[in-house]
Amino acid sequence: MLMPPWFNDVFQQLVKRHSDQRLHHGLLLSGQSGIGKTLLAHTMAKTLLCKSVSNNGFCNACQSCQLFDAQTHPDFSELSSDKQLGVDKIREGIARLNATSQLSGNKVLIIPRADMMTESAANALLKTLEEPTDNTYLILVTDRMNRLLPTIISRCEKHILTRPHHEVAQAWLADQGFTDVTVALLEAYAGAPLRVKAALEENSDSISYPQYQEGLEMLLSGTNDAVTLATDWQASATTIVDWLQQYAHRSFVQHNSPAFYKLYKTCIDAHQALQNPGVNKIMILSSVLAEVKRPDSSI
């Protein structure tokens, strides 16, 4: 997937510094999840490896660009990590970074979830950040910068990335084939367009956001009850709880009412409980729905 347009400015700045040979060898891209940080990291990596970079970034035609697109570039590696990222993996990545470049150019290592590094992994990485070999670049990506060692953070060039404006996000989602994404739906995913996209792809067969809004309205007006709704929605229980969690968060910020803080906490607990196989989804979801109130009725 291409880098989303809302990162154009930061990308242009990075390319400019690369052209001026002033780019830091350790980049840290931080920001909330689902805004496309890793896509920016990939675009930057492709640019750093490209043999014919222009002011707009990579050329998309040279051998290096072709190898990158085919995911077979010998001087590029990425340390994927669903769970913990241990010291062995980091050492492996560093070894590749320190090896001779196959294409006589730069070498790039991306760590997409840098906050998953164990402490010993982070310490192993620290040395590379302190004493980088020539023509090597490390790009760390995180949505939880507070979990990184301060020594790692201080040795990187930090970029705090923000989510796009809603209109920009809506236009991008429309380009991806998701028209009619409302502001309410965006806000249900904290304004993170890639999270909305993932949810819409995943939930194409189950509940839509307008259906959820309609059901919630019926609950609040008393024309439907929590147990009936929970029964109807049990297949999408996790999605509903996520949406309600965002609703609670927004309402708490706007109205500063303890009831919404309580609902927010209930949603977090429910989300956790729903991860266990065999749980009674109707019971969990109905207990969350029973706590939902209108902002004005709870102040």
Name the residues that contact Zn ion, by CB under 5 A. Answer: 50, 52, 58-59, 62, 65
Nearer to Zn ion, 30 or 106 (CB): 106
CB of 60 to Zn ion, least distance (A): 6
Q: Which is nearer to Zn ion, 50 or 289 (CB)?
A: 50
Q: How far is the CB of 102 from Zn ion (least distance, A)?
A: 15
Which is nearer to Zn ion, 58 or 189 (by Cβ)? 58
**Minimum distance from residue 59 beta carbon to Zn ion (Å):** 4
CA distance 48 to 62: 13
Among residues 220, 240, 222, 221, the alpha carbon closest in space to that of 230 is found at 240
Question: Residues 81, 100: contact at Cβ < 8 Å?
Answer: no
| Run of H or E including 243 | helix 237-255
Toward Zn ion, which CB reaches closer, 106 or 251? 106
Number of Cβ within a 10 Å radius of residue 159: 16
Q: State the nearest-atom distance from the C-beta of 57 to Zn ion, in Å.
A: 9
| Range 174-195 burial, b when 16+ CB lie within 10 A, else e | eebebeebeeebbbbbbbbbbb
Positive or negative torsion for Cα 57, 48, 152, 134? negative
Nearer CB in complex with Zn ion: 21/146: 21
As a whole number of angstroms, the distance between CA 226 and CA 219 comes to: 7
Shortest separation between residue 42's beta carbon and Zn ion, angstroms: 14
